[in-house]
């Protein structure tokens, strides 16, 4: 790392697990989302991965990793994960579960251990850009990290 200020719980977690990554900083814009980040970094929104914190009917948190240019079918996600229903968390609840501010949520180094699900087509990509634990910073890494190191399970829940 060149700058101490870019150290986050996510980058610490990745280093601890010997994961190779590069940092990409951009000017964060509230409600800009993955598409805005992709545009500012000059990359295809399809290879950006958003980290979404949701809850099942028992209020148990879970994480779903989705392409930046797709939405999640919560109905299909519930069906494929064995839940009765799944819904997105409010920003405050998501922050309580993950330990990250919305817009800076990373799947790495979260406050609570929670199941992680990944859209299967993400694993077909050569490289991905995923949040590094703070607003305005994406990390470029191999998608295999999601299943091999993080333990994410595959689902097919993308809406076009």
Query: Residue 153: which CATH number?
Result: 3.90.960.10
Q: Which pLDDT value is given to residue 26?
A: 96
**Residue 2 pLDDT exceeds 60:** no
Closest CA to 41 of 129, 143, 124, 135: 129
Q: What is the pLDDT of residues 37-89, one digit of tens each?
A: 999 999 999 999 999 999 999 999 999 999 999 999 999 999 999 999 999 99
Percent of the chain with pLDDT over 70: 96
Burial degree of 2 (CB within 10 A; 0-12, 13-18, 19+): exposed
Residue 35 located in a structural domain: yes
pLDDT, mean of residues 16-20: 97
- Report how many domains make up the chain: 1
- On whether the pTM is more than 0.75, the answer is yes
Q: Is the CB of residue 74 less than 8 Å from the CB of residue 80?
A: no
Please give the pLDDT value at position 7.
92
CA atoms within 13 Å, Cβ hemisphere of 72: 24
10 within some domain? no
Is 58 a domain residue?
yes
């Amino acid at each position: 790392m060149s700058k101490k200020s870019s150290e986050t719980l996510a980058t610490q977690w990745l280093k601890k697990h010997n994961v190779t990554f590069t940092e990409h900083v951009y000017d964060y814009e509230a409600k800009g989302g993955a598409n805005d980040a992709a545009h500012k970094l000059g990359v295809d929104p399809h290879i950006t991965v958003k980290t979404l914190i949701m809850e099942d009917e028992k209020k148990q948190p879970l994480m779903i990793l989705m392409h930046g240019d797709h939405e999640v079918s919560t109905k299909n996600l519930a069906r494929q994960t064995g839940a009765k229903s799944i819904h997105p968390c409010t920003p405050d609840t998501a922050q309580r579960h993950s330990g990250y501010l919305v817009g800076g949520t990373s799947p790495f180094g979260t406050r609570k251990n929670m199941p992680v699900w990944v859209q299967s087509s993400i694993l077909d990509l050569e490289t991905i850009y995923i949040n590094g634990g703070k607003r305005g910073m994406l990390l470029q890494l191999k998608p295999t990290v999601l299943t091999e190191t993080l333990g994410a399970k595959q689902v097919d829940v993308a809406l076009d």
